[in-house]
Structure 1
């Protein structure tokens, strides 16, 4: 048996389907994931994305908690630039009050990244190239900077934040969240504030990151567990975990580093069937990287009808090449390479297929292979 295996769900909307359909499938998948033996079930936070229904993690987690019994539930991740620390603590404090001891509060940066993207565009380009480390493909880097400084991103930013609001840095957010959880917060003049619900909530804090930047370093310095995103930024996963470990300082939470790493996977009875089920993935990633936001997930037939240009293929090549696709044995071997190369203490897998039954079956086959392997 390998390291623990967990689930990341985006509540994908399928072509021709609705957000309601997607959310009901999430509830069903969460129940099944618990039965299959997965350690955690995390949901993402995405906005203005036609193909993703997971926009409000706390609300969705409350619905999932009501239909499951024991699997840990969490956010992957709450985007800290879009709401106040108090709001985050109250939301997850409410969840913990109703379903004690089951929640992970995964935090990610947002808002600050647009400034960093502008600086990246002004600086030298990252070196290209790919390599293989302990059997794991590390592709050439992809930069999201042009998308983050686009007019479309500026519109999204205006809608996500109050007028004139500034996204605080991650350290400041963590300071306020941990203070509110410990409570009460005082001003030094005899006044105090308590988060109710929230103060004293039994939450496991995680930091998520896609590079060796602020998120990885802050998680390390604060002695918190860190989740690195191979499925989002495969080129930077080793940089991210190295930066986290280099910065790590023991805390009351952890005596040593604790790393979880994500991966996109599709599992079927055999490699050929899995490749067919995964065939729409490139078209889906293309919609993200051209700034549309993920389109509703296409069917294999619709994906096969798309006539790819060389430029389009190059745009998504790193993500397609690093999606783990195949039989249970094939994918388990790829996940072992990911765990070996990163030293991950836990793996977080995300799967999207056009047919919900195929998605559930993918998780079931992988769990059986992973949990029964010597």
Structure 2
């Protein structure tokens, strides 16, 4: 990968639904933001995959990626991440292959490992397990806050998570197929896929133009190790699970083996960001974030993103604050200079080659403005 003059910034979009907004309006806002991000110099526009959340419209990233690619001209478009167990490998290869054929050299395909646990006593793959020690504390590494690990859902997965798995046809232990599924998908694109009986399969239109493959992870677990083993670039989540970001990157680098497409480890690190003209305005626009994260962490699911006024009126009790404190403390909120300095620290401490920015606000115009102000301050 060529080395740019400044660390590239990219966009991670969940297509959040704001209070009073319809899902259609949220999705159209995504298309508008993608065009604005391209004009501002962002390198990639990645789409997340979430299900059964009233506050998130990004449930079909492969479909939405096609719409985003059609609404833009040059920015790379992809998924962060496609949750493999929700599809068969052939389906993914054909869907992304279709987009890669129409929009050559613009598609990224990120793989994520998430699904039901093998047993009721095991944490679900992709879900941060409970804190190992009650004495775990926050720490600061060269200026970057690394908060103590916190369980996302607690000891028992909520009914919504289990219902989601049932509706998507998941079954306990299906994430054990993660490596094989990735190899199969890559094989469909390279033309090297073979059945167990040695039969050659051509997955039109996957054969030909190939996307750039990524693996994303939140812990020093199977995803980080597999990304290293396969010589693929790795996406580390400071925005979802900040406690594990340094460990996951270290695990990836420790297991990295050069591949045909990548000779050295390559990392993109995500961050929650909100920029406004001045710090006071940014803090006002940031008010609803804690309540939004609380919905996710409690198992209720993301709620429609509240307005600053409604968020101030509702507030958060002490229990809710404790549940989301790590996310609040690691969100970079402020004027362009303040946020730029935070991101420079994140890049320096993690050694990331790229940064992935996710920004949520009640008014879509404030999201666009945040990305534009950051792009100018960063020098894109």
Higher helix proportion (structure 1 or 2): 1
Distance 1:137 1:167 in 2: 31
Do 1:265 and 1:350's aligned partners in 2 also have CA atoms closer than 8 Å?
A: yes
Question: What displacement does 1:20 show?
Answer: 0.1
Match of 1:274 among 276, 282, 286: 282
With 146-155 and 221-230 compared, the bigger mean Cα shift is at: 146-155
Distance 1:37 1:296 in 2: 29
Question: What displacement does 1:189 show?
Answer: 5.4
The residue that corresponds to 1:104 in the other structure is: 108
Do 2:85 and 2:170's aligned partners in 1 also have CA atoms closer than 8 Å?
A: no
Do 1:147 and 1:153's aligned partners in 2 also have CA atoms closer than 8 Å?
A: no
Taking a change above 3 Å as real, the CA distance of residues 154 and 147 of structure 1, as seen in their structure-2 partners, is: farther
The residue that corresponds to 2:150 in the other structure is: 142
Helix, strand or coil for the counterpart of 1:91?
helix
The residue that corresponds to 1:115 in the other structure is: 118
Taking a change above 3 Å as real, the CA distance of residues 187 and 73 of structure 1, as seen in their structure-2 partners, is: closer
Do 1:126 and 1:141's aligned partners in 2 also have CA atoms closer than 8 Å?
A: no
The residue that corresponds to 1:247 in the other structure is: 255
Helix, strand or coil for the counterpart of 2:148?
coil
With 177-186 and 297-306 compared, the bigger mean Cα shift is at: 177-186
Do 1:30 and 1:68's aligned partners in 2 also have CA atoms closer than 8 Å?
A: yes
The residue that corresponds to 1:367 in the other structure is: 375
Helix, strand or coil for the counterpart of 2:140?
strand
The residue that corresponds to 1:67 in the other structure is: 71
Whether 2:8 is the aligned partner of 1:17: answer no
* Deviation string, structure 1 residues 306-335 (Cα, Å, up to 9, x no partner): 142211111111000100000000000000
The residue that corresponds to 1:40 in the other structure is: 44
Match of 1:337 among 315, 330, 345: 345
Helix, strand or coil for the counterpart of 1:272?
helix
Do 1:210 and 1:240's aligned partners in 2 also have CA atoms closer than 8 Å?
A: yes
Taking a change above 3 Å as real, the CA distance of residues 240 and 165 of structure 1, as seen in their structure-2 partners, is: closer
Do 1:82 and 1:110's aligned partners in 2 also have CA atoms closer than 8 Å?
A: no
Q: Which structure 2 residues correspond to residues 1-374 of structure 1 after superposition, within 5 A?
A: 2-111=6-115, 114-115=117-118, 118-120=121-123, 124-125=132-133, 128-144=136-152, 146=154, 149-161=157-169, 166-187=174-195, 191-371=199-379
Which runs of 5 or more residues in structure 1 are unaligned? none
Taking a change above 3 Å as real, the CA distance of residues 68 and 216 of structure 1, as seen in their structure-2 partners, is: same
Question: What displacement does 1:178 show?
Answer: 1.5
TM-score by length of 2: 0.93
Question: What displacement does 1:165 show?
Answer: 9.4
Distance 1:135 1:242 in 2: 18
Taking a change above 3 Å as real, the CA distance of residues 61 and 187 of structure 1, as seen in their structure-2 partners, is: closer
Number of residues of Structure 1 aligned to a counterpart in Structure 2: 371
Question: What displacement does 1:355 show?
Answer: 1.1
Do 1:82 and 1:167's aligned partners in 2 also have CA atoms closer than 8 Å?
A: no
Distance 2:155 2:301 in 1: 10
Which runs of 5 or more residues in structure 2 are unaligned? 124-128
With 120-129 and 314-323 compared, the bigger mean Cα shift is at: 120-129
Distance 1:338 1:234 in 2: 11
